[in-house]
């Protein structure tokens, strides 16, 4: 069964450094998402992406965050200057069609980001 | 913005006992989804409810959508250790992006 993949599984970085988290969506899916989950807490929406544009972003997704799909395959989340509070699990998710509210989201295994 | 509130935050049960988690929205939802996240894992889609008053069953799991489409519940009958995890509800906001509840973490004592 097709699945969303994410790399790396764990990223450790120093505060102030840039990180890029990578996701390979399921091939025929159209909507892509990034979520954040601080340890033991809820799954928080960061951004949705469709047709190479941001569809919506949350208040968490400030100027330090950016997303792109540089090669038509990878879907990346970049954090320009990491802060301690960026430490969390980051999940990529995709949905099949434009009726995204009615489609299940397929989540990747996540990247655990640790900022020291 | 639209939020779904979920209670309880934690539930610890003895194996064989029942478990229920509740999800409430201040606004009418077009649909609601339920996900399960095993410890150390990622959320996995369980089910979607769309119709007012809808009830769906998956083996020991029963999902309900309220008549006003503002609340939902997940009930597990006779819990097993394999039911351990966090159960999230999710509802769409005005932009049709799903917003997750805080989740209910279920632990089951054998």
pLDDT digits (tens, 9 = 90+) for B78-99: 999 999 999 999 998 887 788 9
| Predicted pLDDT of residue B98 | 86
Full pLDDT tens readout for chain A, 116 residues: 789 999 999 999 999 999 999 999 998 898 999 999 999 889 999 999 998 999 999 999 999 999 999 887 899 999 999 999 999 999 999 998 766 677 899 999 999 999 99
- How big is the A-B interface in CB pairs under 8 Å? 56
Q: Give CA–CA dist B21/B7, Å, rounded.
A: 6
| Predicted pLDDT of residue B7 | 96
B31 contact residues in A (CB cutoff 8 A)? 101-102
State which residues of chain B have pLDDT below 70.
Answer: 1-2
Residue B1's CB is within 10 A of a number of other CB atoms, namely 10
| Subunit contact B95:A108, Cβ cutoff 8 A | no
The answer to whether B13 and B20 are in contact (CB under 8 A) is: no
| Predicted pLDDT of residue B1 | 56
**How would you list the strands of the sheet with A75-79, edge to edge?**
A5-7, A19-24, A75-79, A65-68
Q: Is A1 on the interface with B (CB under 8 A)?
A: no
Q: Is B10 on the interface with A (CB under 8 A)?
A: no
């Amino acid at each position: 069964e097709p699945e969303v993949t994410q790399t790396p599984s764990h990223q450790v970085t120093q505060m102030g450094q840039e990180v890029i988290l990578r996701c390979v969506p399921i091939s025929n899916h159209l909507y892509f998402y990034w979520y954040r989950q601080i340890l033991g807490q809820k799954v928080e929406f960061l951004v949705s992406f469709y047709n190479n544009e941001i569809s919506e972003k949350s208040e968490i997704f400030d100027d330090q965050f950016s997303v792109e799909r540089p090669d038509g395959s990878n879907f990346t989340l970049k954090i320009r200057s990491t802060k301690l509070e960026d430490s969390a699990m980051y999940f990529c998710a995709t949905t099949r069609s434009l009726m995204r509210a009615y489609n299940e989201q397929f989540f990747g295994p996540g990247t655990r980001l640790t900022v020291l | 913005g639209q939020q779904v509130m979920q209670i309880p935050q934690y539930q610890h049960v003895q194996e064989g006992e029942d478990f229920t988690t509740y999800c409430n929205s201040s606004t009418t939802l077009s649909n609601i989804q339920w996900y399960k996240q095993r410890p150390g894992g990622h959320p996995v889609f369980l089910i979607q409810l769309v119709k007012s008053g809808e009830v769906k069953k998956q083996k020991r799991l029963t999902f309900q959508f309220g008549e006003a489409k503002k609340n939902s519940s997940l009930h597990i009958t006779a819990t097993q250790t394999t039911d351990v995890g966090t159960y999230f509800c999710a509802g769409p906001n005005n932009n049709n992006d799903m917003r997750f509840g805080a989740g209910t973490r279920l632990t089951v004592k054998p």
